[in-house]
A = this chain, B = another copy of it.
Amino acid sequence: MERLAVIDMGSNSWRLVVYGYDPGTPWWSLTDEIREAVRVGEGMGEENELQPGPMDRAVHTAAVFAAFCKASGVEDVRALATSAIRDARNREELLNQIKERTSLDVRVISGEDEARYGYLAIANSTTLEDGAGIELGGGSLQLTRMVGRRLEESASLPLGSVRMSERFLPEEKASGKQMKALRAHVTEELEGCDWWEGERLAGIGGTIRNLAAAAQKRVDFPDVDVGGFELTREALEDLVEELASKPASKRGDIKGIKPDRADVILGGSLVVAAAMDCGDFDALEVSEAGLREGVFFEHALDGDPPLFDDVRRQSVKNLAHRFNTNPEHVQHVGKLSLEIFDGLAVAGLHDLGDEERELLWAACVLHDIGTAIDYDDHHRHSYYLILHAGLPGYTPRELVLIGLIARYHRKGDPDASDLADLERKGDKQRLEVLCGVIRLAEQLERSRDQSVAAVEIDVNDGRVRLAPKADGRGGDTSVAIWSARRNADLLADAIGKEVEVAG
């Protein structure tokens, strides 16, 4: 396991993130993280001069991060400074202090690089192929446009949340006039970006994550991370209104908004809203990744650009790998599940499509991850991990559905009520079919030796007959058949037919 530390010295918050990865494999995980609201760009003003207080905080934080890397033995450390430091007249002063005080070798990256790392983060954590990306930092705003997952256009503009808030909204209360001026300024700055449009828009950065978290908390469903959440323009405008109604110091009281962003969140939300207006985007898909992941992906992945082939499949397999699931077993449960799912579809016994098929596959690969917590109730623990351990590329609704299919791979009657506000018509029936299928496939792979190599489906006289096929290596399928027969009820009820397991 190699480790890489990335230090993102942003204009608002600084973050040290340690990634673990196996070179030559797609396995990686975030193993450690420290965040500090340094606000290095505070009070820079028109003169673009770093102030003593913020510089002091910056040097302290650099010392914490350097000591941390040293103590934990991480040798490969990439420290990157973005907009505030990049633009500061006196940046050398800060960089020298950091050099004297710590072992960090800080690289000041260009706006173009900043945009490119943001693009890599988006392309490797969402399903976007053609579309636009937005990253709002404390100092600058990065806009990108990708075609076929390749970066086509980018811009980096000095429209960060700290900068805009200090310039346009310096007081506790924001007036309508000030907010209008901020929006107008953003609109004006974006005029040159005639490529700024697209079918889909993905967004990253702390401001956007906080806004998404606040919007998400107004909807009732399990408390998952904001990755994959769709922030609509309407929801954003509602938030702008609520934020503007409060004095700056109280804006952190809104659930989802970090108190240390309270004073710059309104400015940030106005920048995002204006940018969405300019590109005529109705919604923004949130990713939890950021500049730091872009740096990590560039380092750890092959290819130019360095991209995962398929973000969702990668997420699922990586999560299973992190929790040491038996890969042969879970992949085989996936194979058998899809055979049953497809056989029933051909026979017209359900009308579920590719979307559900993919969720079923993901749930199969992840159904046992909960055993890392405890074998007892591991189906419940799998649900917890699926919801909380990170699956980039899926929406919250998809996440909960995958979690529920895994939850009911053993024991209990599928219950769609956890979906709450995300529940759609037919979800109860949808879950019953999918859980019925995985439960049967799990039993056909009961002894986890792949002795049932495949399963064929026949429908005769209104009765469904599953015929398990032996693997030809002399494996004993009688056990699988015996187990499957005792677990066919859920599927039978879901499709309203008798289900018979041939022996």
Contacts and interface: CB of A to CB of B under 8 A. Distances in A.
B476 A63 contact: yes
Contact of A326 (B63, B72, B375): B72
Interface in A59-88: 60, 63-64, 67-68, 70-72
A482 B60 contact: yes
A478 B68 contact: no
Interface stretch (A29-37, A43-51, A399-407): A29-37
Contacts of A67: 447-449, 451, 475-476, 479
Nearest to A62: B479
B31 A447 contact: no
A371 B31 contact: yes
Considering the complex of A and B, which 4 residue pairs feature the smallest CB-CB distances, nearest first?
A71-B449, A67-B447, A33-B375, A64-B479
A153 interface: no
A381 interface: yes
A449 B68 contact: yes
Given A381-B388, A384-B384, A447-B71, A63 B479 contact: yes
A379 interface: no
Nearest to A101: B476
A374 interface: yes
Nearest to A482: B60
7 contacts: A63-B478, A70-B449, A71-B449, A71-B450, A288-B376, A381-B388, A384-B384
A446 B64 contact: yes
A117 B371 CA distance: 25
Given A478-B60, A479-B63, A483-B64, A390 B374 contact: yes
A482 B389 CA distance: 32
A381 B223 CA distance: 13
Given A60-B479, A374-B389, 11 more contacts: A34-B446, A60-B482, A63-B476, A67-B447, A67-B475, A68-B446, A68-B448, A71-B447, A225-B374, A373-B388, A377-B388
A446 B71 CA distance: 11
Interface of A: 30-34, 60, 63-64, 67-68, 70-72, 225, 288, 326, 371, 373-377, 381, 384-385, 388-390, 446-451, 475-476, 478-479, 482-483
A30 B479 CA distance: 24
A377 B373 CA distance: 17
Contacts of A377: 388
A447 B385 CA distance: 28
A225 B378 CA distance: 12
Contacts of A326: 72
A372 to B, nearest CB: 8
Contacts of A451: 67
Contact of A371 (B32, B388, B390, B448): B32
A476 B101 CA distance: 10
Contacts of A475: 67
A476 B103 CA distance: 13
A13 to B, nearest CB: 14
A390 B482 CA distance: 32
Most buried by B among A377, A475, A482: A482
Contact of A225 (B376, B389, B479): B376
Contacts of A371: 31-32
A106 to B, nearest CB: 17
A188 to B, nearest CB: 36
Contacts of A33: 375
Contacts of A71: 447-450
Contacts of A72: 326, 448
A227 to B, nearest CB: 10
Nearest to A450: B71
A385 B68 CA distance: 25
Contacts of A476: 63, 67
A68 B326 CA distance: 12
